[in-house]
Amino acid sequence: MPLGAVVTGAALTLTGGIPAQAADGSAGGQDEALNTAALKTATVKVSDTETAKITRKATAKASARYTKKVKATASVTAWSTRTAKATRSVTVTTKATDYSTALAEAKKQAKKKAHERAKSAAIAEAKKQAVANSKKKAKHRAEQKAEKLAFDKFGKEVVADAAKLKGTPYKWGGTTRSGFDCSGYVGYVMRQSGVTHLSRTSHAMRGDTKKISKRAKKKGDLVFFANSGGKVYHVGIYAGSGKIWHSPGSGRSVTKADIWTSSYTVGRVA
């Protein structure tokens, strides 16, 4: 980086007078150090600006609880690169028998020190920013990952619990393993994974969920079927690959089936 030097002061310092010569031409009995007629002092201030680019990583852990019974933990490492600039000024004073020598030495020392200090400060600041940002990124990504893992875990558990009830007979108003209607079956399965807030009927149950797009549906989501007036008449649990687990109706039993119509909506339990 460019360096600037400014002479901020100069002084002539006398350390002793010039002694009279002896008869033999010697300097007489004065101390040898005093033979220097004068020392000149030069003071120089130099400022230097340096830039540093640093990459640092950080690892963060996060946990997410989808229900009281379903929880997941994720660990994520994130990298961040930051650039920082720093300016430092250094003042150096030197002495020499002549001013030009003192000035040159002062400039040389000041340039070196200003460069080193500015570079060190820039590196320290860049490190600080990079670490802070990578920690922030890692935490955010870990939270997102934990939430996804928790829901995926929830979906797998729900589908597994739904499958265990295969063959259970349909029973109007049924909510136990002796027999289920469609909403009774869904409510029973969901309670096994800690979901306790769902309403009893399929129509009311839809209001207890968050509507999501058909394309975004995942295992464990609820699939609602409604008539032309919008009244929900049936509900099942999405099992993946376009299929649902449901209790289909009188004379039948819990089974996995293809979604048979495009007239359905999808809800996700909170």
Residue-wise pLDDT tens digits, 108-134:
999 999 999 999 999 999 999 999 999
Query: Of 265, 259, 199, which is closest to residue 232 (Cα–Cα)?
Result: 265
Tell me, yes or no, whether 160 lies in a domain: no
Tell me, yes or no, whether 95 lies in a domain: yes
Rounded Cα–Cα distance for residues 222 and 200 (Å): 14
Rg of the chain, C-alpha, whole Å:
41
Residue-wise pLDDT tens digits, 215-252:
999 999 999 999 999 999 999 999 999 999 999 999 99
Q: Name the active-site residue from 115, 140, 182, 197.
A: 182
**Is 182 tagged catalytic?**
yes
Residue 221 vs residue 23, higher pLDDT: 221
Q: 37-46, 233-242, 248-257: lowest mean pLDDT where?
A: 37-46
pLDDT at residue 34 tops 70: no
Q: Please state the pTM of the whole predicted model.
A: 0.74
Tell me, yes or no, whether 161 lies in a domain: no
What does the pLDDT read at residue 38? 79
Last residue of a domain, one of 153, 185, 202: 153
Tell me, yes or no, whether 91 lies in a domain: yes
**Is 140 tagged catalytic?**
no
Instruction: State the pLDDT confidence band at 169, using cuts at 50, 70 and 90.
Output: very high
Domain with 95, as residue range(s), is 3-153
pLDDT at residue 28 tops 60: no
What values do phi and psi take at 251, rounded to 5?
85, 0
Whichever domain contains 237, its CATH number is: 3.90.1720.10
Tell me, yes or no, whether 162 lies in a domain: no
Residues 6+ apart with CB under 8 A from 180: 165, 168, 170, 171, 174, 188, 247, 254
